[in-house]
């Protein structure tokens, strides 16, 4: 199961998006983010494993480092399955603050509950097929 991107991961993707095809040296990224290489490398390795960026070993000023570039996956548009386009959350004014344990809480949402019940009646369950 894929998990959401952290704020730091999103920030790295934004920075690499701005860097474009030229890419960015790993150490320049640490400087922009104000983080040390140890924590930075963990996040970058995770993004690489998930296919969001590529790392190429290069030499800069005589030292080995990595050139980071955003992969195509990061720029791909996400296709929303048709069945989800009528999900009430997409047009909900509270979506930015809706969270488990918050207010509103999706677990107590009447609109979402209504939509789920309707989907169950129409499709015998909710899936993207």
43 or 89: CB nearest ligand SF4: 89
Task: Give the C-alpha distances (Å, rounded to integers) separating 125 from 80, 83, 91, 98, 120.
Answer: 18, 11, 22, 23, 4
Residue 22 to residue 68: CA distance in whole angstroms: 9
Closest CB to ligand SF4 among 76 and 100?
100
- Specify the residue, 25 or 106, whose C-beta has the smaller distance to ligand SF4: 106
d(CA 56, CA 34) in angstroms, rounded, equals: 22
- Least separation in angstroms between residue 100's CB and ligand SF4 is 10
Q: Which stretches of the chain bind ligand SF4, using CB under 6 A? A: 88-89, 92, 94-95, 98, 104, 106, 109, 111-112
């Amino acid at each position: 199961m894929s998990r959401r991107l952290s704020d730091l991961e999103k920030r790295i993707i934004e920075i690499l998006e701005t860097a474009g095809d030229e890419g960015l040296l790993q150490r320049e990224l640490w400087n922009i983010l104000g983080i040390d290489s140890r924590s930075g490398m963990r996040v970058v390795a995770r993004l690489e494993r998930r296919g969001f960026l590529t790392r190429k070993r290069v030499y800069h000023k005589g030292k080995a480092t990595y050139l980071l570039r955003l992969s195509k996956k990061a720029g791909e548009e996400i296709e929303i399955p048709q069945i989800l386009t009528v999900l009430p959350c997409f047009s909900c004014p509270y979506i930015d603050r809706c969270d488990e344990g918050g207010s509103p809480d999706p677990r107590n949402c009447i609109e979402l509950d209504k939509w789920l019940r309707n989907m169950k009646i129409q499709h015998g369950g909710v899936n993207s097929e």
